[in-house]
Amino acid sequence: MDIRSNEPYWLIKNAFESSYPSLQKSITTDVLVIGGGITGALITYQLLKEGREVVLVDRRDVCNGSSAASTAMLQYEIDVPLYKLIEQRGEETAISSYKNCEKAIYDLENIVEEIDSNCHFEIRKSVYFASDKDGEKMLEKEFRTRQKFGFAVEWLNRNQLHDLGLDARVAIQSDSGGNFDPYKFTYDLLALCAKKGATIFDRTEIRKTRQKGDKMIAVTPDKLKIQANHIIHCTGYESVKTIAKKIVNLKSTYALASEAFEELPYPFRNHIFWDTSSPYFYFRGTADNRVIAGGGDEKFKNAIKRDALLNKKWDFLTKHFKRYFHGIDFTPDYIWAGTFGETEDGLPYLGRPNPEINEHYVLGFGGNGITYSVMAMDAILDSLNHRDHIFLTDYGFDR
């Protein structure tokens, strides 16, 4: 599966920071992490803290899957609004999911500080806005629900949004949001993991896995073997190839970065934005004074069809930016596309699809993919030790 097109802005900005060797002989380890994106990096970091021996492999260069394409907005707000999630999954799971996503933003901020990553992590206010009557009605209901359950939210009317530079009817503003450079962060974290003892192999594909006694064996196309007590798949959207159950609807999504402004336009200095339309549009600033606009999702994942639409999406996203943010001279510079997927309830999948074997998955799908990966750090050891954890229940494969 080709999970992203060639020009994610982060790749061009950071170029290749470093590279790792590929696997040349069969080896044995305690834990094998498959996937060197942000999820694999966070999980490896956590396991090293717990004193585990970790080997991480990636079939590409590390951080060249979705994590390079991500627009990396951090929101505690899940793709499914809170009031709807309560209907779908009940009050307890819905509220704890929102609360834990919020905590994950600050946990990530702490990790960035801990590892001293120059990934421009910034806390930002999140503005969830509506530009039509239906969206407004939906937001009113969502606002009441969030207030009822103690989320710090503010209602913004048209005038207040106008002062912010946004042309929309109403919005919910939350203090807890953020953005950062996901590529730089993942590279920094993997480099630190390697320093702390993780063994990393890039350009090393795992073709299949099997159980042998109480061990797991992962096999490469060259028939090299990695024997491990546990295998953790942090394989993002490509995990659909190894999971029998249909857990996610895959589609294509687009992102556009503007040319750099002399200084970041006012709306983006302290805020990130997304709207109530379906599929939704979203907007954020970058540390080098660009604005990223995302959205324009298509319901297919075919990479050729997806990339054939890049020119069209260039105009489409530019037009939508200009519709919402008047008076900003947005000149598009880079466009890219990626595979994206949402689960039925907007929540991730964590743990063992087959409780009989030591093969675990960490799959943070959807617009909160990154916050879910941070949350999974908390549950991964319990998954390895076959212990209960609320996330392994709420986000388990048998839900």
Ligand X SMILES: Cc1cc2nc3c(=O)[nH]c(=O)nc-3n(C[C@H](O)[C@H](O)[C@H](O)COP(=O)(O)OP(=O)(O)OC[C@H]3O[C@@H](n4cnc5c(N)ncnc54)[C@H](O)[C@@H]3O)c2cc1C
* Between 13 and 132, CB nearer to ligand X: 13
Closest C-alpha to 271, from 208, 177, 168, 340: 177
- Residue 238 or 333: the one with the smaller Cβ distance to ligand X is 238
276 binds ligand X (CB under 6 A): no
For residues 64-78, one letter each, b for 16 or more C-beta atoms within 10 angstroms of the residue's C-beta and e for the rest, the string is bbbbbbbbbbbbbbb
135 or 294, CB closer to ligand X?
294
Closest listed residue to residue 126, CA positions, set 160, 152, 144:
152
Of the candidate residues 5, 66, 258, 276, the single one contacting ligand X (CB under 6 A): 66
Contact between 34 and ligand X (CB under 6 A)?
Answer: yes
364 binds ligand X (CB under 6 A): yes
Alpha-carbon gap, residue 94 to 97, rounded angstroms: 5
Binding part of the chain for ligand X, among 20-28, 34-42, 86-94, 350-358 by CB under 6 A, reads 34-42
Considering the rule CB under 6 A, would residue 58 count as an interface residue with ligand X?
yes
Using CB under 6 A as the binding rule, whether residue 338 contacts ligand X is answered as yes
Stretch that binds ligand X, among 121-129, 235-243, 301-309, 350-358 (CB under 6 A): 235-243
The region of 48-56, 71-79, 160-168, 378-386 touching ligand X under the rule CB under 6 A is 71-79
CB of 275 vs ligand X, minimal distance in Å: 14
Q: Nearest approach, Cβ of 31 to ligand X (angstroms)?
A: 15
Distances (CA, A) of 283 to 207, 237, 313, 321: 38, 23, 15, 8
Residue 251 is a binding residue for ligand X (CB under 6 A): no
Query: Is 240 one of the binding residues for ligand X (CB under 6 A)?
Result: no
The nearer residue to ligand X, 64 or 131, going by C-beta atoms, is 64
Q: Helix axis angle, 91-115 relative to 182-195, nearest 10°?
A: 70
In this structure, are residues 253 and 297 in contact, taking their beta carbons and an 8 Å threshold? yes
Tell me which residue has its CB nearest to ligand X.
Answer: 369
- Give the Å distances, CA to CA, from 251 to 296, 301, 305: 11, 5, 11
Q: Does 167 bind ligand X (CB under 6 A)?
A: no
Residue 40 binds ligand X (CB under 6 A): yes
Q: How many CA atoms lie within 13 A of 3 on its CB side?
A: 21
Q: Does 59 bind ligand X (CB under 6 A)?
A: yes
> What is the nearest approach in angstroms of ligand X to the Cβ of residue 61?
8
Contacting range for ligand X; rule: CB under 6 A; set: 37-45, 222-230, 259-267, 382-390: 37-45
CB of 148 to ligand X, least distance (A): 26
| Residue 235 sits in the site that holds ligand X (CB under 6 A) | yes
How many residues bind ligand X (CB under 6 A)? The answer is: 39
In the complex, the smallest distance separating the C-beta of residue 123 from ligand X, rounded to whole angstroms, is 15
Does position 39 interact with ligand X (CB under 6 A)? The reply is yes
**69 is a site residue for ligand X (CB under 6 A):** yes
Binding residue for ligand X (CB under 6 A) from 70, 126, 174, 199? 70
The binding site for ligand X (CB under 6 A) comprises 3, 34-40, 57-60, 64-67, 69-73, 205-206, 234-236, 238, 253, 255, 294, 338, 340, 364, 367-371, 373
